[in-house]
Amino acid sequence: MLISKKDLLKETGISYGQLYRWKREGLIPEEWFIKQPSFTGQETYFPRTKILNRIKAIQELKDKYSLEELAKILSPEIAERYFTTDDLSIIEEIDKNLIPAFVKGFGKNSFLYIEVLLMIGLSDFKKQFGASLGQLINIVEGLKGYCEKIKSTEYIIVLFDKSDDYYATLYKEQAEVYIDARLNIVHTIHLNELSSRFKIKYRKSFNFRFDDEDYSVQDDKNMNMSYSY
Amino acid sequence: MYGNLWVLGERFISGKYRRIMAAGGLKIEDSNILKLYSAGEIDIKNSTIKKLRAAGEIKGTNVNLGNVSIAGDIKLTGEVKADVLVACGDLTAEYLSCKVLRNFAKRSSKNNRWVRSGSIAGDGNRTVGEFSGFFKAETFENFKDTVIDFEYEFVNIISKCRLTSLNAIKCERLFSFSQICADEVNADYVYIKPHSTSKISMLAGSEIIISEEFKSIKLFKSLPKSVDFTYYKDILSLPSSIMSVETIEADKIFVEKLKANLISGAEIVIGDLCIIDKVEYSQSIKISPKAVVNEVIKI
């Protein structure tokens, strides 16, 4: 569902100056400015939920971080580092009991950022649906080959069940995907949303490219993770 | 620190010097030089030079520069910092960070045609002053016709000659005194002197002024620059003409001599000689009797 630029400004109370400043700073991705023909020429629309959530997040965080820092927090690029099993144990959203299963599923002890996001998503999936360790290992084994190819977090993982097992499909956010209607979709993981929340919460722990920071954030770990970017 | 040095012919230099006058090829490594005047090629590595005036090709790797003016091609590798860099020749940089970056020598507007052609007599096909690589500067001063097809992060852009970009021009403050052509201009503050050959599809920001008259002198004077305001007076005195912009969206808008499809903003002033299809405003609007506006909507 789309929202027009005028309605966006009215609904959020932001000015043109703010909107375009945030666009310049990379806080609002270029691809969210969708131009559509209108009888006055062209009108710009945005993906409604995404832009409203993003503006809410910017408004709530802009007093705490500079726009440059916010761009890094909210940007969908992949963090350039590997995570060890010790790192995984710091991440509250990863079920500690599942770490051996993830190690087995991925067949290694250090993980890419995208793989960490998958672990967070699968931990939540297990919590909600009570999937077995074997089923989680199978999902990881099925997806691990693609994790290395992914160069951004703008991907969605859809999980569906069939014959007492779970299967996954992985696709880019903007892509149109048509899944066999007979398959029962049980869970959807938005890597971009997980990434935004993860970066904010663990930015101190994992030093997400905040090169020149001289500010202190005391309550990172306690930050309320209610945002949905 | 060593004293002054006169160099003729090829020479390798290392150490601290107050002033070097050179004619011939120089190789400089691990040096700290206050002033260097040179005619000939220079290869500089891991050095600091406070003031450099050179004619000839310059190669630099991991160099700290102060006030630099070079007539000749420049190739910079590694991280290079400069206070003011004036390049009168091709400039290639892996990562150049400056306070002020200028792409040509000062010339009076009377002789501007020579600069705009961007060619050297006797070698008509070759344009000089091409930039490639990554450039970061507080202020970029455009003193020759330029097509932006390099990576940049400029806070301020001051353009005295034609500025063209196939993509968006993004900066905090843009002052365009000559032609400007871009798909999009996104800047907090924009001043454009209207010119019939200028064309912009989307012009957006906080405050946008398209006017023959230049009133933002105080703001302009506060910007870091290599030349002062008086140098721009001659180009500001040249006549202007009606320019085209498809859409303008900003909080404060003042336009004259403009043809546009849509102007949308909070406080809008439509001055003389404007032909605007549709104006949307949220706070205030003034329309000159010498302007034609097809539709006005309060939003």
The number of residues in chain A equals: 229
Query: Which tokens go with B155?
Result: 């806070």
Give residue-wise pLDDT tens across range A87-136.
Answer: 898 899 999 999 999 999 999 888 888 999 999 999 999 999 888 999 99
**pLDDT greater at residue B153 or residue B106:** B153
Q: Is B288 on the interface with A (CB under 8 A)?
A: no
Query: Which tokens go with B12?
Result: 């390798």
Beta bridge partners of B70: B54, B87
- The residues on A that touch B, with CB distances below 8 Å, are 5-6, 10, 15-17, 20-21, 23-24, 40-42
- Do residues A81 and A204 touch, judged by C-beta distance below 8 A? no
d(CA B152, CA B160): 18
Instruction: Give the start-to-end residue ranges of the domains of chain A.
Output: 2-75, 83-196
- Do residues B110 and B126 touch, judged by C-beta distance below 8 A? no
Query: Which tokens go with B64?
Result: 């700290």
Query: Which tokens go with B99?
Result: 């306070």
B221 residue type, one letter: K
Give residue-wise pLDDT tens across range B166-198.
Answer: 889 999 999 999 999 999 999 999 999 999 999
Say whether B205 and A41 touch across the interface (CB within 8 A). Answer: no
Beta bridge partners of B274: B258
Query: Which tokens go with B141?
Result: 């001063």
* pLDDT value at residue A213: 33
Contacts of A42 in chain B (CB under 8 A): 246-247
Percent of chain B surpassing pLDDT 90: 81
Contacts of B264 in chain A (CB under 8 A): 6, 16
ipTM value for the complex: 0.82
Contacts of A5 in chain B (CB under 8 A): 249
- Of B6, B47, B5, B10, nearest to B29 by C-alpha is B47
* pLDDT value at residue B142: 95
Interface test with chain B among A24, A42, A43, A68, by most B beta carbons within 10 Å: A24
- Of B288, B291, B210, nearest to B252 by C-alpha is B210
* pLDDT value at residue A75: 66
- Of A84, A137, A133, nearest to A113 by C-alpha is A84
Q: How far is A41 from chain B (nearest CA, A)?
A: 8
- Do residues A171 and A177 touch, judged by C-beta distance below 8 A? yes
Say whether B266 and A41 touch across the interface (CB within 8 A). Answer: no
**pLDDT greater at residue A123 or residue A75:** A123
Backbone φ and ψ of A133, nearest 5°: -60, -40
Residues 6+ apart with CB under 8 A from B3: B17, B18, B19
Q: How far is A15 from chain B (nearest CA, A)?
A: 7
Q: For residue A169, how many C-alpha atoms fall within 13 Å in the half-sphere facing its CB?
A: 16
Q: How far is A19 from chain B (nearest CA, A)?
A: 8
* pLDDT value at residue B1: 64
Taking 3-state DSSP, the helix, strand and coil percentages for chain B, each rounded to the nearest 5, stand at 10, 70, 25
Say whether B206 and A6 touch across the interface (CB within 8 A). Answer: no
Interface test with chain B among A20, A34, A44, by most B beta carbons within 10 Å: A20
Taking residues A129-152, report their average pLDDT: 89
Contacts of A24 in chain B (CB under 8 A): 170, 186-187
* pLDDT value at residue A27: 87
Mean pLDDT is lowest, of A68-77, A136-145, B249-258, for: A68-77
Of A5, A15, A20, the CB nearest to B186: A20
* Segments of B40-179 assigned E as strands: 42-45, 48-55, 58-61, 64-71, 74-88, 91-102, 119-120, 123-127, 131-142, 146-148, 151-159, 163-176
- Band (pLDDT 50/70/90 cuts) for residue B122 is very low
Q: For residue B7, how many C-alpha atoms fall within 13 Å in the half-sphere facing its CB?
A: 26
d(CA A151, CA A156): 13
Q: Is B265 on the interface with A (CB under 8 A)?
A: yes
Q: How far is A62 from chain B (nearest CA, A)?
A: 18
- Band (pLDDT 50/70/90 cuts) for residue A84 is confident
Whether the per-residue pLDDT at B217 is higher than 80: the answer is: yes
Percent of chain A surpassing pLDDT 90: 41
- How many C-beta atoms lie closer than 10 Å to residue A31's C-beta? 10
Taking residues B18-44, report their average pLDDT: 95
Of B204, B261, B262, the CB nearest to A16: B204
d(CA B281, CA A77): 37
* pLDDT value at residue B263: 96
Say whether A16 and B280 touch across the interface (CB within 8 A). Answer: no
What is the DSSP secondary structure assignment for residue B229, as one 8-state letter? G
Between chain A and chain B, how many beta carbons pairs sit less than 8 Å apart? Answer: 45
Whether the per-residue pLDDT at B295 is higher than 80: the answer is: yes
Instruction: Give the start-to-end residue ranges of the domains of chain B.
Output: 155-298
d(CA A152, CA A170): 13
**CATH class entry, domain A2-75:** mainly alpha
- Of B84, B52, B96, B82, nearest to B70 by C-alpha is B52
Backbone φ and ψ of B229, nearest 5°: -60, -35
Whether the per-residue pLDDT at B144 is higher than 80: the answer is: yes
Run of H or E including A193 = helix A191-206
Token look-up 């859409």 returns B247
